[in-house]
Amino acid sequence: MKKVIVKCKLSSREAFEQKLSDIELDFSAVHWQHDRIYVPREYKRNSNYPRLIMRTEMHAVDKPAKYMFILKRHIEDSGVDIVEETVVKDYETMVNVILQLGFKPIAEISRRRQYLSMGEGTNIYLDKVEKLPGYYAKIETNLSPDDSVAEAKNDLQSTFKTLGESSFVESAYFEL
């Protein structure tokens, strides 16, 4: 699936949430995510290499964890992210497959996340990332073949600006 993603460091989580609440958009309950990020052995930043992510997600302590295998590839010259997600039942086996394919672990990221849907294919995420100060918000939208990447990115940035935020972040959390 092709996506455009715009991330922003929030100046005020409370003000951001209030502006969304004023237009009757409210975030979900908080859930926890932990990502282990793997890259090819010859990985170079800004070189269109894929990243593989093993995600553990907990929505409630009395429910089992959900495991996801995510392939993510940012295509630099187009600004598009290619993202494929698959639910995994056996976490350890999948990690062994990743390692045997020649990928190496480079980072682990834990976060508390809330989300809301802004319509078909567009979501806002509110993240509190361990070891990083403040809160981050991320808007992502799915692209159809006829959509303009530049227009989609401009629309997402305009949405942030309308909500009073403009500290855009281009890096992944593990790079901050």
Fold of 2-175: Hypothetical Protein Pfu-838710-001 (2.40.320)
Between CA 69 and CA 89 the distance in angstroms is: 10
What dihedral angle (degrees, nearest 10) is formed by the CA atoms of 164, 115, 8, 79? -120
The tokens for 45 are 């930043």
**Alpha carbons 110 and 23: distance in angstroms, whole number:** 30
Q: The tokens of 149 are what?
A: 């990447």
Cβ neighbours for 2, distance < 8 A, ≥ 6 positions apart? 80, 81, 82, 142, 143
The reported pLDDT for the residue numbered 120 is 83
Mean pLDDT within 56-73: 94
Average pLDDT, the chain: 92
Confidence of residue 77 (pLDDT cuts 50, 70, 90): low
DSSP assignment of 73-88:
EEETTTTEEEEEEEEE
Read off the pLDDT of residues 7-60 as tens digits, 9 standing for 90 and up. 999 999 999 999 999 999 999 999 999 999 999 988 877 777 899 999 999 999
Domains of the chain, by residue range, sit at 2-175
DSSP H or E stretch at residue 36? strand 31-40
Neighbours of 95 (CB within 10 A): 19
**Which candidate, 103, 88, 83, 28, places its Cα nearest to that of 54?**
88
Average pLDDT on 146-150 reads 87
CB 128 within 8 A of CB 135: yes
Q: Tell me if 28 sits within 8 A of 115, measured CB to CB.
A: yes
Give the three-class secondary structure for 35: strand
- How high is the pLDDT of residue 44? 79
**Residue listed under structure tokens 């942030």:** 160
CA distance 137 to 173: 12
Percentage of the chain lying above the pLDDT 90 cut: 75
Instruction: Report the SS3 class of residue 142.
Output: strand
